[in-house]
A and B are shown apart, each in its own frame.
Chain A
Amino acid sequence: MSPTVRLQEMIRVIRSARTQGEERGVIQRECATIRAQFRQADNGGRSHNLAKLLYVHMLGYPAHFGQMECVRLIASPRYNEKRVGYLGAMMLLDENQDASLLITNSIKNDLAHSSQYVQSLALCTLACMGSAEMCRDLAPEIDRLLRASSSYIKKKATLCAVHIVRKVPELGELFTPAARALLAEKNHGVLHGAVILITELCERNAQTLVQFREVVPELVHIMRGLVTSGYSPEHTVAGISDPFLQVRILRLLRILGRNNDTASDAMNDLLAQVATNTDSSKTAGSAVLYETVLTVMDIKSESGLRVLAVNILGRFLLNNDRNIRYISMTSLQKIVSTDHNAVQRHRGTIVDCLKDQDASVKRRALELSLALVSAINIRSMMKELLLFLSTCPPELKSHAASGIFNAAERYAPSQRWHIDTILHVLITAGGDVRDETVPNLIQLITNASQLHCYTVHKLYRALVADISQQPLVQVACWCIGEYGDSLLQGECEETEPVQVTEDDILDALETVLQSHMSSPATRGFALTATMKLSTRITENVDRIRSIVSIYGSCMDVELQQRAVEYNALFKKYDHMRAAVLEKMPVMDRSSLGQTNGESGGGVVQEMEPTKPKQEMMVAPQPASQVCDLLDLLSGPDEPSHPGSTLGTGSATLGPASLMTGSAGGDLLDLLGGLELTPTPMPATAPAAVTVYDKSGVVLKLSCERPLDASQTITLTATNTGDHDITSLTLQAAVPKNVQLQMKAPSGDSLPARSSALVTQTVLLNNPNKVSLKMRVRLSYTSQGSTFQDTVQIDSFPTPGL
Chain B
Amino acid sequence: MIKFVLMVNRQGQTRLSRYYQPVELRRRAAMEADVVRGCLYRKKEECSFVEYKDFKLVYRHYASLYVVVGITESENELSVYELVHNFVEILDKYFSRVSELDIMFNMDKVHIILDEMIQNGHVVETNHTRILAPLTALDTLAHS
Contact = CB atoms under 8 A, between A and B. Distances in A.
Contacts of B50: 360
Interface string A4-34: 1001100100000000000000000000000
B127 A127 contact: no
Sorting the interface of chain B by its residue count into under 10, 10 to 19, 20 to 34 or 35 or more gives 35 or more
B83 to A, nearest CB: 7
A117 interface: yes
B46 A124 contact: no
A604 to B, nearest CB: 36
B123 interface: yes
A192 B124 contact: yes
A457 interface: no
A2 B142 contact: yes
Nearest to A62: B25
Contacts of B112: 83
Interface in B33-89: 43, 45-51, 76-79, 81-83, 86
A358 B82 contact: no
Contacts of A247: 76, 79
Given A11-B104, A243-B79, A155 B125 contact: yes
Interface string A261-286: 00000000000000000000001101
A551 to B, nearest CB: 49
Given A4-B109, A189-B125, A189-B130, A162 B22 contact: no
Contacts of B127: 188-189, 234-235
Interface string A165-188: 000000000000000000000001
A196 interface: yes
A290 interface: yes
Contacts of B49: 323, 326-327, 360
A19 B6 CA distance: 23
Nearest to B109: A4
Contact of B17 (A58, A193, A242): A58
A60 B124 contact: no
Contacts of A283: 78, 81-82
Nearest to A284: B82
Contacts of B77: 323, 327
Nearest to A240: B82
A156 B79 CA distance: 21
B82 A237 contact: yes
B96 interface: no
B136 to A, nearest CB: 12
Given A11-B104, A55-B107, A243-B79, A60 B119 contact: no
B140 to A, nearest CB: 13
B45 to A, nearest CB: 4
Interface in B87-134: 104-109, 111-112, 115, 119-120, 122-127, 129-130, 133-134
A127 B108 CA distance: 19
A189 B126 CA distance: 8
A155 B124 contact: yes
Contact of A243 (B20, B82, B130): B82
A125 to B, nearest CB: 10
A155 B124 CA distance: 7
Contacts of B120: 127-128, 159-160, 162-163
Nearest to B130: A189
A422 interface: no
B122 A291 contact: no
Given A4-B106, A87-B108, A323 B45 contact: no
B124 A322 contact: no
A324 interface: yes
B28 A244 contact: no
Contacts of B137: 117
A299 to B, nearest CB: 16
A358 B47 contact: yes
Contacts of A127: 119-120
A237 B29 CA distance: 35
A54 B104 CA distance: 13
Contact of B78 (A59, A160, A189, A324): A324
A66 to B, nearest CB: 13
A2 B22 CA distance: 29
A60 B25 contact: yes
A358 B119 contact: no
Contact of B47 (A94, A160, A322): A322
Contacts of A359: 46
Interface in A538-556: none
Contact of B79 (A58, A79, A160, A291): A291
Nearest to A322: B47
Interface string A281-325: 001101100110010000000000000000000000000001111
A58 B134 CA distance: 24
B107 A287 contact: no
A326 B46 CA distance: 10
A243 B81 CA distance: 12
Most buried by A among B50, B83, B123, B141: B123
Contacts of B111: 87
Interface in A355-370: 357-361
Contact of B45 (A54, A189, A357): A357
A23 to B, nearest CB: 11
Contact of A3 (B22, B82, B108): B108
Contact of A84 (B45, B48, B108): B108
Contacts of A235: 126-127
Interface of B: 14, 16-17, 20, 22, 25, 28-29, 43, 45-51, 76-79, 81-83, 86, 104-109, 111-112, 115, 119-120, 122-127, 129-130, 133-134, 137-138, 141-142
5 contacts: A235-B127, A244-B126, A247-B79, A323-B48, A358-B45
Given A128-B20, A290-B76, 7 more contacts: A87-B108, A192-B123, A234-B127, A323-B47, A323-B77, A360-B46, A360-B50
